[in-house]
Amino acid sequence: MSSMDHNQLPQQVWNTQHLARKPVPQADNRYSQSYAATRPYYAELEAQSQAQPAPYLQPHYATTAPTTFIAELPAPLPPAPHTITSGEQLKEDALLAHKLQQIEVAEVRQRSSSAVSQNQRPISMLPPNQRPVSMLPQNPPYQSPLLHQVSSLSLTTQSTNMSSADLYWGPDSFNAARDGPTTNPLLDVVPPNLPIFYDSANDFPIPVQSEEQSKGLPVTTLPDTHTLIAQLEENRQVPYPPTWRLPPTVATFYAYPGDQTTPGSDWLTQQESCTWRTIRPTETTYNPAAPTYAFKFTTKGGSFRDPRFSWAMTLPDPPADPKKKKASKGKPVTWSYDLRLEKNTGMRKSEVLNHGAKKSILTTYVHAQNYDSLRFVGPDGRGYMWVSSSAVSSMTGFRYDTLRHALFVSVGDIQDPLYGEIIADHTFWDGYVDEHEVHTGVKCDGCQTAPIKGPRWKCKTCHHHDVCKDCRDSIQAGRFGEAMQKACDLSLVCLPDEALCIRSAMVEPALVIASLQILKDWERHTLRGEKKKNPKAFLENEEEARKRDLGIMRYWRATDWDKKEKKNTANEKMGTVVKARSTQEAREGSASALGGLIDASFSLASHGTSHSGGGGDGGGSAGGSS
């Protein structure tokens, strides 16, 4: 038997018994006195391995194929029972879902609007305990004349007190209830009127209109275009916009148009002259002392050079000083205006209004969708703004003579003129009817009164049919028979005037008249642009306007005054044309009479001079002969 090599380690075998139970450790007696020193260390290990033999386990190697996993599909659902839903039920469900969606959207909008209003609230509207330290008054509280109350007016220019929910396009108008006021059984809590200090740098503008003046004023809107034209032809004027608060009139000026008989001219052509006076053109009495503002217009360029429009306005002479015996004769004061446009684009290149001072006035015209405006800063440093009642147009049934213009001026620390006051307003037709006019040589065909005193009505269908006011009312009531009531189309022989009302004694009339002329020039330029874009539609709208009494006077043509024109035969029966012709004839007659008077005075003066000279010569010759 071969001996065991003590230097060789025993072979390790697979043994799983030590996983089930740990072997009990034996005491190590190698360092004890009874331990044999001659016994080697490896002999002890061999003895331990022989005492506990371990079986040899052969490793198992699998020869079968790997297990395949099959995904289990879900079992099909059982078929749903067949149900029948009517179409009405489906519609009701859809409407209910739509209402629920609208309610959710309304709640979201309400939360967002309340959050935005809280974030964008001006500093002056915050409670006193939430204001910054810089806003607290250091001196005794000073009450500004612009003082808010708890029930203050809405921030709408020249408007009545209305909440934002009542306005159709207000910020809170979406899904807002517009029912009448409901009674509340609870007691009303009236908060004290706390003053809120105004800061022009951080706060919104405060309207000047007080709340007491707005009480009792009806909130109305302007009628539509066709109704507005009908009211103009019937009442000889258009209503004022309901949001305009007009002070009393201080002075009134009336326009005298220039020569309308220049061949080829019409209402869009720039006239050579225009005059504003304090007496009406239809008044027969001539007042040479009446203030007169005369315009002289000039147009240059347009073909090869840029078009240039300019005019000069002559102011009336200042009143004579009673202390001075001789009135000083100086040069008349004039204002001048110059506008240059780009030839290709029509854009403004330069525009200036000179009024005799070093600093000129610069104007800015804006043609917006809802109204037109002309903004400028006056010589006094305040902001001025002309505003039209609606947008300027002469297309699709609109007529530009249905407009009204108002001149706003800024007040106090508020720089926006729209939050100020109205100091002047202009209209193309003021609705004037002379109730005491005497129509010389005209007899009433109803009551046979000659001449007709007061309003005169002329029939457009009958030949030489004139009636007074009482007979016209009888014809409309059917007292002269239904045939005459249906056949006669009566037209009032009256011609209202273009008027400018000054409503403040602190404003210079020359500034108001000059700025109004600039606004009218720009509006005429806008209408020329409309005609250039669509000439056919523009001409159709013009012809439709000329079928009415006031329309033919505002949309005039030079051929209207030609008596040889056959088309003017029908226009001769319109009351406005009849009145315009009689006024023109009276003016020409007074001018010819004045000219004849002047010629007679000159002839008398020359005759007296020649008579005195002849006597002297005869006396000399007689004396010489003797």
Q: Is 333 exposed, middle or buried (0-12, 13-18, 19+ CB in 10 A)?
A: middle
Q: Is 451 exposed, middle or buried (0-12, 13-18, 19+ CB in 10 A)?
A: middle
Question: pLDDT tens-digit profile of 2-50?
Answer: 445 555 444 444 444 444 455 555 555 555 555 444 555 556 656 655 5
Coil, strand or helix at 235: helix
Residue 527 is predicted with a pLDDT of 95
For residues 47 and 580, give the distance between their C-alpha atoms in angstroms, rounded to a whole number.
Answer: 151
Question: pLDDT tens-digit profile of 376-393?
Answer: 999 999 999 999 999 999
Mean pLDDT for 395-422 is 92
Residue 518 is predicted with a pLDDT of 96
C-beta separation of 339 from 332 below 8 A: no
Whether 175 shows a pLDDT value over 70: the answer reads no
Residue 308 is predicted with a pLDDT of 92
Residue 239 is predicted with a pLDDT of 92
More confident residue, 342 or 173: 342
For residues 340 and 121, give the distance between their C-alpha atoms in angstroms, rounded to a whole number.
Answer: 45
Whether 159 shows a pLDDT value over 50: the answer reads no
Residue 189 is predicted with a pLDDT of 45
Per DSSP, the residues of 379-395 read TTS-EEEEEESS----S
Mean pLDDT for 212-230 is 62
Mean pLDDT for 543-572 is 83
For residues 585 and 572, give the distance between their C-alpha atoms in angstroms, rounded to a whole number.
Answer: 15
Whether 215 shows a pLDDT value over 50: the answer reads no
Mean pLDDT for 391-403 is 92
Residue 148 is predicted with a pLDDT of 40
Whether 526 shows a pLDDT value over 90: the answer reads yes
For the record, the structure tokens of 78 come out as 């059982």
Assign residue 367 a region (left: φ > 0; alpha: ψ between -120 and 50; beta: otherwise).
Answer: beta
More confident residue, 54 or 356: 356
What kind and span of H or E run contains 254? strand 251-256
Question: pLDDT tens-digit profile of 340-374?
Answer: 998 888 788 899 999 887 789 999 999 998 999 99
More confident residue, 306 or 614: 306
**Which of 129-133, 309-313, 417-421 shows the lowest per-residue confidence on average (mean pLDDT)?**
129-133
For residues 382 and 373, give the distance between their C-alpha atoms in angstroms, rounded to a whole number.
Answer: 16
Mean pLDDT for 276-286 is 78
Mean pLDDT for 269-286 is 82
Q: Is 317 exposed, middle or buried (0-12, 13-18, 19+ CB in 10 A)?
A: middle
Spatial neighbors of 331 by CB under 8 A, at least 6 apart, are none
Residue 559 is predicted with a pLDDT of 86
Residue 251 is predicted with a pLDDT of 94
